[in-house]
Amino acid sequence: MRDQATFRIWRTQPDGGGGFRDYTTAASDGMVVLDAVHRIQAEQAPDLAVRWNCKAGKCGSCSAEINGRPRLMCMTRLNNLNLDEPVVVEPMRTFPPIRDLVTDVSWNYKVKKGIRKITPRPADAPDGTWRMAQRDVDRVQEFRKCIECFLCQDVCHVLREHRKFDEFIGPRYFVYAAALEMNPIDTADRIPDMKEKAGIGYCNITKCCTNVCPEHIHITDNAIIPLKERVVSRYYDPVTRLLQMFK
Amino acid sequence: MAVHATYTYDVLVIGAGGAGLRAAIEAANAGVTVGMVCKSLLGKAHTVMAEGGMAAAMANNDDRDSWKVHFADTMRGGQYVNNWRMAEIHAKEAPDRVRELEGWGAVFDRTPDGRINQRNFGGHRYPRLAHVGDRTGLELIRTLQDHASYLGVTVHMEHTVIDLLLDSGRVAGAVAYDRERGRFHLFSAKAVILSTGGAGRAYKITSNSWEGTGDGIALAYRAGAELIDMEFIQFHPTGMVWPPSVRGILVTEGVRGEGGVLKNREGRRFMFDDIPDNYKPQTASDPEEGWRYVQHDKGARRPPELLTRDHVARCINREVKAGRGSPHGGVFLDIAWIKEKLPNAEEHIKRKLPSMYHQFKELADLDITKEPMEVGPTMHYIMGGIRVDGDSQMSSVEGLFAAGECASGINGANRLGGNSLSDLIVFGKRAGEYASRFAKESGQPRLDEAGADRAITESLTPFDRGSHGENPYNVQQDLQEAMQNLVGIVRTESEMQQALNELRHLDERNARVGVEGHREYHSGWHTSIDLRNLLPTSEAITRSAIERKESRGGHFREDYPDKSPALGAVNIMVKLVPGVGMRVSRIPIPPMPAHLKQAIEEQTA
């Protein structure tokens, strides 16, 4: 590996606009992009704004776009990048910029509040607990691996290009809704909301979200498609509709 | 100095990890207004990193378990200097606190009969840790965060508190800045709960994220609160050692719970060579018995890899110092060997330890189902912190409460793995309950605007010095170096005296720190503010460690390698005396009531 690498980092300008600036710093075996950003911060640009926390791929704070691909900076190793050219590091483009690599992700928190919360059935046992088989919670546990890095939201073209922030909740919240819908003890019904408020119809299953998920959650196949199927069988299935007419 | 906004709450919670969120939930349920301030985005706090599980004597996997066994385990792990009342409450209340999480959406791993599955962990006599693979902390924080968000708790994300405000000795609120714009905010509150976590960033090799800068400990100290047990630092035996950029990141004890073994470069399972006498009756006599234990054979005893963390960390330290370590200065932790025992070992490892598999694959390019990991001790947890009343979690400052890692008492000289997540929910709940009760009985205090003004002016002085001042990153780095080398796993008087000198010097350098530019997400400026907390916290650790002239739990002194019965009867307390500085004293541990003594005797019989 080269001992030096150049990072082309997005910097906010005083006028509110922005542009790329190149920083060259030492690179060593095992380093990740976030290490390089920290080194640049400590040596050359103490005011470089970056959001991070655990540095182990567990908190989902350091989301950015590296060479055009949404990724966690802490999980992107330099030896997997071409260091003969500058490594381009820019903020998630789907969300409003705050400064340098930091974006305003508050929309996500707002969306979550709009999803019906868990409504458990009465407890199965006198001590207030439930009985669930591991095989029935496996799929929910896959969804609950989500670290809320919002990279899936960043890459989703419904948000990124079409800006449907008011009509579409994005892949993260389909995963969240699916986890609740498939929780064995939950009794709430989110299917009407999925159709009417969450805009699930906008998703045309290009699987971009699945491809960028650092937790390798099968967002499209295991969360979005099953939710779409539930919407379809509730509202569009001819047999169901026929039966409803005679109710 | 211009204050951007002032907010008024009944209860202000500082820190949004497991303890803070659980406190906020309880306070909101009690019908008071709750504000929450956190340094990161909601849901990113260090709780997210907890892997192994939360300890609660639910007895789902072994019906011999009970609160008494959990209590006795916690006291023995803490070498009997714990606040026994807290250890009792914790053992009794943890099962209910875990169970209620399920109704709030947590999805734990299951037993074959569909109950919450519990796993073995170091120092716990029976399988006791409710868990979700090796990402239990994520499950906890997400569950609490989602539940709190439906209760109308106002969260001020990415805000850092710089000082608490007092009104004639009673807490009255806090002054903070927002990281986004660098604007200042005042919070008026009848009660304040500190739940800011630990202080790992005082050390060079730590599992803690940037947030662990001892904020709550230092805020409380400056407000006049008493700190105890600051000498007790837990070095987790297994942190990553390579690559350098991830040095210190945690490798869960769950790896050993699933059968992982520690070996030196000669391939020897060195943990069998040094089993403390008081643990011998409960420790496996050979590798075969150890394997049977992790396979849930109730007749087998635990392998020595699952002895308490302080002991395992020192054994690893010894192997490395004796030149028997791994290439990058650690030892080997091998889980891949279980393929000799299990037909589908690879899938088993990936299912039981998914985050560990992922972490090593992506950060170290190593497949843990095929090769051993390299691990070494990492500063993981501070047992010491704010002294609180065991029942109410109120500190020695009226209206100021503390819960979680920044509070002290439950863990004594050493925390058992799994007792932290349960601590968060048990005492988070109690802090929320008692703080809201306190708030209901009190009037809104007077907000000390002059005091806020002083704190704000002081926090901005690095900008006055600009680029001529000291680089804050350098000061922090030198502090970490000093604490790591001089107040680390193995301590001596002379090195700690040297550390005090260095700390004095670092204090002077910190007074000259300078930063340049704007205040938006200015990490250099934030570091200068973190230093105001890291320095007194480090001094408290060092002074307490000098005062405890014995070895106990997480505090090991080469010059006093044995336990002293006299020091086993006291806690070391630190307090700020106005005009004098940091004062260290010994406070006697109150005598344990008969029913608790009996619980311990039943387990040692």
**In this predicted model, what pLDDT tens digit does every residue of B61-76 receive, in sequence order?**
999 999 999 999 999 9
Average pLDDT score over chain B: 95
Cβ(B232)–Cβ(B412) under 8 Å? yes
Q: What is the pLDDT of residues A123-157, one digit of tens each?
A: 999 988 999 999 999 999 999 999 999 999 999 99
DSSP string, B398-457: BTEEE-GGGEESTTTT-PPTTHHHHHHHHHHHHHHHHHHHHHHHSPPPPP-HHHHHHHHH
Shortest CA gap A240–chain B (Å):
31
Contact A2, A83 (CB under 8 A): yes
User: Which one from B236, B301, B380, B526 is the annotated catalytic residue?
Assistant: B236
Identify the band that residue A7 occupies on the pLDDT scale cut at 50, 70 and 90: very high
Residue B499, phi then psi, degrees to nearest 5: -60, -40
For chain B, count helices (H), then strands (E).
16, 19
Residue of B nearest to A102 (CA): B521
Say how many CB pairs under 8 Å bridge A and B.
Answer: 167
Q: How would residue B422 be classed by pLDDT, with cut points 50, 70 and 90?
A: very high
Residues B462 and B469 sit within 8 Å (Cβ to Cβ): yes
Closest residue by Cα to residue A215 from B290, B581, B357? B357
pLDDT of residue A70: 98
Q: Is A21 on the interface with B (CB under 8 A)?
A: no
Q: Please report residues of B whose CB lies closer than 8 A to that of A25.
A: none
Q: What residue of A is the nearest CA neighbor of B134?
A: A145
CA pair distance B385, B573, nearest whole angstrom: 10
Please report which confidence band the pLDDT of residue A241 belongs to, taking 50, 70 and 90 as the band edges: confident
Residue B243: the pLDDT is 87
Tell me the pLDDT tens digit for each residue of B247-263.
Answer: 999 998 889 989 999 99
Reported as a single tens digit per residue, the pLDDT across B208-217 is: 988 999 999 9
- Tell me: cis bond preceding B472? Omega within 30 of 0 counts: no
- Those of residues 22-61 in A touching chain B at CB distance below 8 A are 28-32, 35, 41-42, 46-61
Q: Is the pLDDT of residue B1 over 80?
A: no
pLDDT for A245: 75
Asked whether the CA dihedral A166, A170, A174, A175 is positive or negative, the reply is negative
Contact B102 A130 (CB under 8 A): yes
Determine the residue type at B214.
G
B264 in contact with A at a CB cutoff of 8 Å?
Answer: no
- Residue B236 annotated as catalytic: yes
Alpha-carbon distance of B556 to B414, in angstroms, equals: 11
DSSP B116: B
User: What distance in Å separates the CA atoms of residue B58 and residue B352, rounded to the nearest whole number?
Assistant: 21
Say yes or no: ipTM exceeds 0.90: yes
Instruction: Give dist(CA A125, CA A131) in Å, integer.
Output: 8
Catalytic residue among B135, B159, B256, B491: B256
Tell me: pLDDT of A240 over 80. Answer: no
The CB density around residue A126, as the number of other CB atoms within 10 Å, is: 6
- Whether B283 has its CB under 8 Å from any CB of chain A: the answer is no
- Counting DSSP H helices and E strands in chain A, the numbers are 10, 7
Is residue B46's pLDDT more than 90?
A: yes
* Residue B144 identity: L
Contact A141 B107 (CB under 8 A): yes
Cβ separation of B521 and A127 shorter than 8 Å?
Answer: no
Give per-residue pLDDT as tens, B477-534: 999 999 999 999 999 999 999 999 999 999 999 999 999 888 989 989 999 999 999 9
**pLDDT band (50, 70, 90) for residue A1:** low
DSSP letter string over B336-402?
GGGGGT-TTHHHHHHHH-HHHHHHHHHHH---TTTS-EEEEEEEEEES-EEE--TTT-B-SSBTEEE
The distance of B212 to chain A (nearest Cα, Å) reads 10
pLDDT at B278 over 90: no
* Cβ A185 vs Cβ B102: under 8 Å: yes
Q: How far is A228 from A221, CA to CA, in rounded Å?
A: 10
Taking Cα atoms as reference points, which of B198, B176, B152 lies closest to residue B17? B198
- Find the mean pLDDT for residues A208-227: 98
Buried-exposed string B329-344: b where 16+ CB fall within 10 A, e elsewhere: ebbbbbbbebeeeeee
Q: How far is B556 from chain A (nearest CA, A)?
A: 28
In the predicted model, what is the mean pLDDT of residues B182-190?
97
Quote the tokens at residue B31: 């019908």
What's the rounded mean pLDDT across residues A1-5?
A: 84
Rounded alpha-carbon distances, angstroms, from residue A72 to A42, A61, A79, A94, B433: 20, 8, 15, 15, 38
Whole-structure pTM value: 0.95
Q: What are A55-96's pLDDT values in tens digits?
A: 889 999 999 999 999 999 999 999 999 999 999 999 999 999
Q: Considering only alpha carbons, which residue of chain B is nearest residue A74?
A: B363
Give the model's pLDDT for residue B111: 97
Q: Among B102-111, B298-307, B381-390, B392-401, where is mean pLDDT lowest?
A: B298-307
Q: Cβ–Cβ of B363/A56 closer than 8 Å? A: yes
Q: Which of A40-44, A64-68, B46-50 reaches the highest mean pLDDT?
A: A64-68
Residues 102-141 of A with CB under 8 A from B: 102, 105-106, 109, 112-113, 117-118, 120, 123, 127-134, 137, 140-141
Write out the two tokens for B201: 């960033």
> Is B114 in contact with A128 (Cβ distance < 8 A)?
no
Report pLDDT for B605: 66
**Which single residue is written with the structure tokens 């069998």?**
B272
Residue B71 contacts A, CB cutoff 8 Å: no
- Closest CB from A49, A145, A179 relative to B135: A145
**Residue ranges in B111-175 assigned as alpha helix (H):** 136-149
Residue B572: band (very low, low, confident or very high) from pLDDT cuts 50, 70, 90: very high
**Model pLDDT, residue B406:** 98
Q: CB B133 to CB A100 under 8 A?
A: no
Separation in Å, CA of A161 to nearest CA in chain B: 25
What pLDDT, on a 0 to 100 scale, did the predictor assign at position B246?
A: 87
Smallest CA-to-CA distance from B515 within B568, B560, B474 is with B474
Cβ–Cβ below 8 Å for B522 and A46: yes
Q: What is the mean pLDDT of residues B281-292?
A: 94
Establish whether B46 is a catalytic residue: no
Tell which B residues from 505 to 564 touch A, by Cβ distance under 8 Å.
515-518, 520-524
Asked if the Cβ–Cβ distance from A32 to B355 is below 8 Å, we say no
CB spacing of A42 vs B473 below 8 angstroms: yes
Cβ pair B419, B411 in contact under 8 A:
yes
